[in-house]
Structure 1
Amino acid sequence: MSENTLGLHYTDAPGHRVVAAALRAAYAWSVRDVQRNSAMLEIARMTGVVMEAHGPGKGPVTPAELVDRLRLPLRGLLAGVREQRAELDDVVLLDDEGRLTENAYDLVCEHVVPLKDAAGAQSWLPTWTTMHSDQIRQRVFTAMITSTKQDEYVASRRFLIEHPAGGEQELVELRDRVGGVRLAKGGYRAIPEDQVYRGLDAQGWWWPCLECKWPMAVTSTGKVRCRYRPHSAVFDLVPGTRPTLRRRDSARRVSPPAGKAVEGAKCVDAGVWRFVVVPGASELRIAAAAERAGAKVLLWPFRDRFDLLVEAGDEKFSVDVKECLSLSSLIERLRTRPPSARVLLPKSCEWQLETLRDALPGLAVTTETKFLGQVRTAVRKAR
């Protein structure tokens, strides 16, 4: 997802603040067993933010009441305090186990705004609950653009996307082998426990998503899947000395990923995964498909003026990949910052095409399927 400027923009409307506060409170509740004092204080602070947005006598008035509301659809918390955000109405943030739901990671996080005036970012809170997506990308890309060399920028960004998790020593060796890789300090951290399975011997294991390679979530019931719902493979855990996964969807023949030991393993922060790795995986997939069709592809030309420059036969195409599950957030962003190239919706977002055209009739937009078809046609004509 291209960012041709590093300026920040977000709407600090009451609805946005309530969504951000609810997400922060939900995360705090999910980690209260290991961050008891900090978590309960954060929930109290976020109760204050929600109360302020609703006004006197409206909305939850105690931390316990707010937590109860987080197990219900968000429409209750958003009633009367936001612009139309129907896509969030049925979203629930906490599941029956007190864990964050997949919606929290792949949809609600796209609505987060900073709440520094109400409660500053706490060091134990993950970036994706405290920072706007643009801020997260800015932090990651700043280290990459310190060099004026395009090849170093591409190598750095590609490395982060292709290696969002792994053994610490393995990551160092891979980085040195690639060369020219510049990453932000502290970019990798220990894999969170809710993405780890521990057997009776307490040894931990994790499994990379088949599409984005980030550690999949592991539930207490033995379900293993990526937190980004469009990465739809779901597995059952098969315990053992070396646990394995069994595909739930028997119609799909893709082999499950092999388990990796968690000792010494690291992964990127959830915000970096969601706003850099996830869209980046789609960008690389589309680039690879265009190359297989016989086209030449430049990734993030001019240090990310747009995402892909594709030369197919006698034609050149420039596209900006936009992977945003929140259609309202995408429309708002495109209105605020028009893209430098034709917008391309990856497969997970192709359903947004007609609504996006209706909302922004002057926007040049296509889908992954249509674009790759156009590339193949151009290559065939040139032969």
Structure 2
Amino acid sequence: MNTWPSPPSDELSERRRRVVTAALRAAYAWTVREARPKKAMHEIARMTGVIMEAQGPGRAPNTPLDLVRALRSPLSKLSIFADSDDPVGQLALLGVDNELTPDVQDLICEYVMPLNVLTDSGRWLPDWTRMRAEQIRHQVFTAMIAMKKQEVYVASRRLLIEHPAGTAGEIGELVSKAGIRVASGYQAVPSRQLHRTELEKAWWWPCPECRWPMMVSRGVVRCGYRPHSCVYEVTKVLSNGRPTLRRIDEGSGPRKTPVARKAQDAVCLNVGVWRFIVVPGASELRIYTQLQSLGAGVELWPGFDSYDLRVTAGDQKFTVDVKEYRSVHRLISDLKAKPPRARVLLPRTHEHQYEALRAALPSLSITTEKRFLMQVRRALGTSGRAK
């Protein structure tokens, strides 16, 4: 039986979030059941209990194997998501290959919350299956803030964002030369992000937007984060054994095709750090660079991340917090729980959330990347340089 230090919230949105978290933990446990049979099956049983508590008595799934079967169908099949318009309900967590679906890292992990179960023995689970985004960020940033120097904090954070993958030697040299503090989080590139040639050599490709190793499935290569929309297929292998890509999507993302890198000695940041630090950080740095090219003065993460950007344009000053959530439902909920210290800015990939956000939070100051760049140009007047 599961018990909590204090009774869990009975609010519907929180009960749904508990269900998503428990489903994710159970799905991950199922994928490692052969390597960790006892721990995995114990976790699935415990998460079945969490879902039963959240949904109420008499609601399926009632057994661990019932739950595993349910994880292969959209979450909307669970009674607690009846009449919900949240897009998370349209997603399944386990694929036909008994592996996690791409939607897990792309969207599901935004819903994760601590379950606060007294009997919790799930510390062996990856942090992104059991910790909120802000907890993961805090865990990583603590080491950066420890030196109490803003410039060290900015340099450390930029290193993670600009170098989320590489060889162990490359990463070590970058850290050493910069003399900065970076928390642990690099690991060998996961097998799902490797392509193996007939010569039994393994390769990986950096996403052209976030530089993290892209997912590889049946010859198709794409970033695990869907808004980074470039999709490729493996076409041929060069005489030196290096596989090449051809772009097959019709999106407007970066046109330069990534070059394959050898998997030997390659490392990348773990999923949680990538999803909640590198992904939004790539947008923050892109906007930072665009503002600088206009001639504005820009500071990154002032006051150890009080907000994301402090911008000076002529005699005007602006402060913005870039918010990059795949789920506008989660964004609205988190902004209600913790109002931002600066104007909310939606990056170009998320500008479609603008109207929904304004309707839900009419008192909040909100802008988009396009609108904000236009505002800065006007503030700079003739002094602003063309982008």
TM-score by length of 1: 0.90
Describe how 1:318-333 pairs up with structure 2 within 5 A: 318-333=319-334
The one-letter amino acid paired with 2:105 is: Y
Cα distance in 2 for partners of 1:259, 1:363 equals: 44
Deviates more, 1:205-214 or 1:245-254: 245-254
Equivalent of residue 187 in structure 2, options 183, 186, 189: 189
Alignment partner, residue 66 of structure 2: 65
Cα distance in 2 for partners of 1:151, 1:27 equals: 38
Q: 1:97: how far off?
A: 2.4
Q: Does 1:141 align with 2:141?
A: yes
Cα distance in 1 for partners of 2:365, 2:251 equals: 37
Is the 1:23–1:129 Cα contact (8 Å) retained in structure 2?
yes
Cα distance in 1 for partners of 2:314, 2:54 equals: 56
Alignment partner, residue 233 of structure 2: 236
Is the 2:208–2:256 Cα contact (8 Å) retained in structure 1?
no
Alignment partner, residue 5 of structure 1: none
Cα distance in 2 for partners of 1:260, 1:218 equals: 14
Describe how 1:333-348 pairs up with structure 2 within 5 A: 333-348=334-349
Q: 1:356: how far off?
A: 1.0
Deviates more, 1:243-252 or 1:275-284: 243-252
Q: Percent identity?
A: 51
Residue by residue, what CA displacement relative to the aligned partner does 1:16-53 show, whole Å, maximum 9, x if unpaired? 11100111122223344544443333223222222232
Is the 2:175–2:182 Cα contact (8 Å) retained in structure 1?
no
Residue by residue, what CA displacement relative to the aligned partner does 1:46-104 show, whole Å, maximum 9, x if unpaired? 22222232333321122222122111111122x23799562222112222322222221
Helix, strand or coil at the partner of 1:89: helix
Runs (5+) with no aligned partner, structure 1: 1-9
**Aligned CA distance change for structure 1 residues 38 and 238 (closer, same or farther; 3 Å):** farther
Whose relative contact order is higher, 1 or 2, with alpha carbons under 8 Å and at least 6 apart? 1
Helix, strand or coil at the partner of 2:90: coil
Q: Does 1:169 align with 2:169?
A: yes
Alignment partner, residue 19 of structure 1: 20
Cα RMSD over matched residues? 2.2
Alignment partner, residue 207 of structure 1: 205
Is the 2:44–2:64 Cα contact (8 Å) retained in structure 1?
yes
Residue by residue, what CA displacement relative to the aligned partner does 1:165-215 show, whole Å, maximum 9, x if unpaired? 110000011122233x2111x321111111112233432211111101111
Cα distance in 2 for partners of 1:215, 1:118 equals: 36
The one-letter amino acid paired with 1:192 is: P
Q: 1:244: how far off?
A: 1.9
Describe how 1:88-99 pairs up with structure 2 within 5 A: 88-99=88-99
The one-letter amino acid paired with 1:131 is: M
**Aligned residue pair count:** 370
Cα distance in 2 for partners of 1:321, 1:299 equals: 11
Q: 1:358: how far off?
A: 1.3
TM-score by length of 2: 0.89
Alignment partner, residue 362 of structure 1: 363
Is the 2:110–2:133 Cα contact (8 Å) retained in structure 1?
yes
Deviates more, 1:210-219 or 1:254-263: 254-263
Residue by residue, what CA displacement relative to the aligned partner does 1:93-137 show, whole Å, maximum 9, x if unpaired? 222322222221121111111124066353442111011111111
